[in-house]
Amino acid sequence: MDRSARTRACAAAAAGALVLTGCSGGSQNAEHTGNTAAGQTSPPVSGTGAGTGLEQQYEKVVDAVLPSVVKIQTDQGEGSGVVFDAQGDIVTNAHVVAGAKRIEVTSSGGGSPAKASMVGAFAADDLAVVRVSGGSLKPASWGESGKARVGQIVLAMGNPLGLSGSVTNGIVSALHRTVSTKGEGSFQGSTIADAIQTSADINPGNSGGALVTLDGQVIGIPTAAASDPQIGAAAPGIGFATPSDTVKRIVPQLIASGKVSNSGRAALGVAVRTIVDPQTGRRSAVAVVEVQKGGGAAKAGIVPGDLILSVNGTATPDQTALTTVLANLKPGDTVKVEVQKSNGSKQQVQVTLGQLPGGG
């Protein structure tokens, strides 16, 4: 979503649109001044009531939180980040920095970019941490996404289309979404459980930024925008954020060791690949390529070459479907797994789920 070529093209288009809008608006204003005497201007309208209070609250939140939101540029593209602590640790999406050989961070207020180093990433939740040495970055205030409410007003802060320090507004549209993102380049893709759906606009470059309540609390990291397959473009007003409760569980582990030892995510204990019918191109199942020794699948008698057809009655025609089912389960849960053996026979086995390991 944040690849450099696409972002540069979008940024150029956006800049052009801004210029055209300004010229068009100026022409219309010149033509509609007949009711005002020459040389006079209409008096400003005084803001009153709830509208003014809400506007003032927006301004307070932006003033408080935007200094904690940074622009991240790499040799692969660009995105956003949120300052996690006073030691210079910055949270972003794993897909923003995946495969990057150069990472630079710029304050939302501008200034010279600072070099950043990679601390660690956990692709399963699309989270990463980069670190800047020196400077005086302001940590954000992290809220509890578990207390978010549908209809709650939120602001998305980041650097969409290269426009640093941009803010959009919307509401929490839904909670507890399970969202899968596609792999791209060095990023393998992710499946995020408990994602927050929001109507606040999320565009390329917003990834890794902040989803903020009117209390100034960051409750999510904008990660993905829905696309409409019929028109092949983004679906307006449908974006998703990784919840702050996940951030607060994963990020301290990355900061401490560069890895995640307690992911909180369920795993079967297998490595799989998707089976595609060469005649129809249809995905029908996932094939077990490797079985973790001593893991839940191994104990249940699953072996390499078996096909996993379903988990707890939910069909698993591809890896994304399997990952989505597991994302809504917990380590220690016992599930029914339908497998097809190499001789074509089918059977149901019970698997006690283990924990998804975290990489560095």
Kindly tell me the burial class for residue 97, based on how many C-beta atoms sit within 10 Å of its own C-beta (0-12, 13-18, 19 or more).
buried
CA dihedral 124, 295, 258, 162 (to 10 degrees): -10
Contacts of 255 (CB under 8 A, 6+ apart): 84, 85, 87, 89, 119, 120, 129
Distance CA 166, CA 20 (A): 20
Distance CA 3, CA 1 (A): 6
- Judged by DSSP in three states, 96 sits in helix
Question: Is 277 assigned a catalytic role?
Answer: no
Residue of 2, 125, 126, 201 marked catalytic: 126
Contacts of 229 (CB under 8 A, 6+ apart): none
Residue of 2, 89, 95, 173 marked catalytic: 95
Kindly tell me the burial class for residue 184, based on how many C-beta atoms sit within 10 Å of its own C-beta (0-12, 13-18, 19 or more).
middle
Tokens of 90: 């910055």
Residue of 80, 207, 244, 263 marked catalytic: 207
Question: Is 207 assigned a catalytic role?
Answer: yes
- Closest CA relative to residue 187, chosen from 212, 154, 223: 223
Question: Is 263 assigned a catalytic role?
Answer: no
Give the other-Cβ count within 10 Å of 232's Cβ.
Answer: 7
Q: Are 334 and 348 in contact (CB under 8 A)?
A: no
Please identify every residue annotated as catalytic: 95, 126, 207
